[in-house]
Amino acid sequence: VWLGPNCRAENNKMEYIGYSSGSAAPFSFWDTDDGQVVTRNSMHYLGRSGVDFGYLENGNHLNVEISYNDIGYHGMLSSDGGATYAAGQVNLTGLQQHHNWFHDNLSRMVIGQGGISVNGMYYDQASGGGTIHHNVSWGTGILDMYHETVNGFRTTNTTFNIYNNTFAGTQILEGYGNSYLTYSMSPLDVQRNNIYVRNININWQSGNLGNNQNYIIPGTNPLFVGSGTEGLFYRIQSGSPAVNTGQVITGITDGSVGAPDIGAYEYNGEEWIPGYTVPVSDGTVNDTEFTYSLNWLHFTNFKTGFKDNDVHATTTLNSTASYNFHGTQVAVVMEKCNNMGTARFEVLDGAVVVDTQDVDLYVVDPGGSTNVCPTGNASRETVFTSDVLAEGDYTMVIKLQAQNTGATPSRNSLVLDNLIISP
């Protein structure tokens, strides 16, 4: 998916993507567009990367948010990439990349044949600018994070603020393997409150910490809890040297339990889990979610008691409203009134009709008044309930089947409110 300006990608499950092994990530950014949000997605089994910051060298993608994503099992067809990837001097000023899991890079790692650059977060060729915080990476090959902070084409506004991350990768291959790597000595990323299981490598000097404070480095056991679903394995225990030893950073460590901790998880703090979650629904589908044919009008503020106070209505014979659903049964809520025609209800399994019924929706006031609709939401009823079906994918179709235009008033209308789907 290419995301244009201010597009939001939320709660998607993206798998088996990137067979070209190039820049065909689940999410990429178009041209020089800004303001995209990629949040609460799961991206697994990827040819190269999960989020690619686009194809345009020297471009801008400003004020982007990458948050609460689970990106793993990437690099299946390319050893040169990361869960998030940017290159070509792209300006990422304002980037907020936080509360993500990056894990299980599947790249082939052979020294001398590519693979040195496989990692969780990969910001190459002076791409950058922004804040990276509260991410957990493990199983990310030989680097948790790589950032080339400067090159001959871009030298300013390239650096990241890197706060409260847990870089938990452990891979060491023929001496290669770092939590963080940059070949530059200036400018330097600002690093605070991070856990590094492997070395920091500045200008190819392993153990050079750069602009770094309040950290846990190799040789100091962070005392991970060692249990829990994936990234929760890397929470810290009560005796961890990370507890209450972090630095206060406004907007980053707000809400700390006591003094800030080091790492992505606060002891006794929120045990956040990123990624896609199955939507929870009460089974109600509003009229705005249907696909309509011929002539329908959308009325807002229709009557009290109708779902969201809006309906779709038609007076055109053979007009249809359809909705695809997954479940075992469907019910239709519509208006019954003195100007209604006859509706045909069909449930389709593919092209096969598995349930059908014609219902005359004409009714007058049950109090006995002639040619008057029931008042308020009394005119709103469940007018059709399907048979119980085998769980599966179906289409509900509603059609204005018949009219009595000679009646007074004409009985020529349908007014659709909502569906109720049983799982």
Q: Tell me the pLDDT tens digit for each residue of 203-253.
A: 989 889 999 999 999 999 999 999 988 999 999 999 999 999 999 999 999
CB atoms within 10 A of CB 45: 15
Average pLDDT across the chain, whole number: 91
Q: Looking at per-residue confidence, does 111 or 176 come out higher? A: 176
pLDDT at 348: 96
Burial of residue 407 (number of CB atoms within 10 Å: 0-12, 13-18, 19+): middle
pLDDT at 329 over 80: yes
Taking CA atoms, 64 is separated from 3, 91, 155, 286, 359, in Å, by 11, 11, 21, 32, 52
- How is residue 201 written in tokens? 């490598």
Give which of 400, 382, 278, 399 is closest to 330, Cα–Cα: 382
Q: What is the number of alpha carbons within 13 Å of residue 17 lying toward its C-beta?
A: 20
Q: Tell me the pLDDT tens digit for each residue of 372-397.
A: 677 655 678 899 999 999 999 999 99
pLDDT at 370: 56
Rg (the chain; Cα; Å): 29
Q: Tell me the pLDDT tens digit for each residue of 277-310.
A: 987 667 888 889 999 999 999 998 777 778 888 8
pLDDT at 85: 95
Q: What is the pTM of this model?
A: 0.72
Q: Which of 23-27, 49-53, 68-72, 314-318 has the lowest mean pLDDT?
A: 23-27
The total number of residues shown for the chain amounts to 423
- Residue 407 CA to residue 409 CA, distance in Å, equals 5
Structure-derived torsion over alpha carbons of residues 52, 53, 54, 58, reported in degrees to the nearest 10: -150
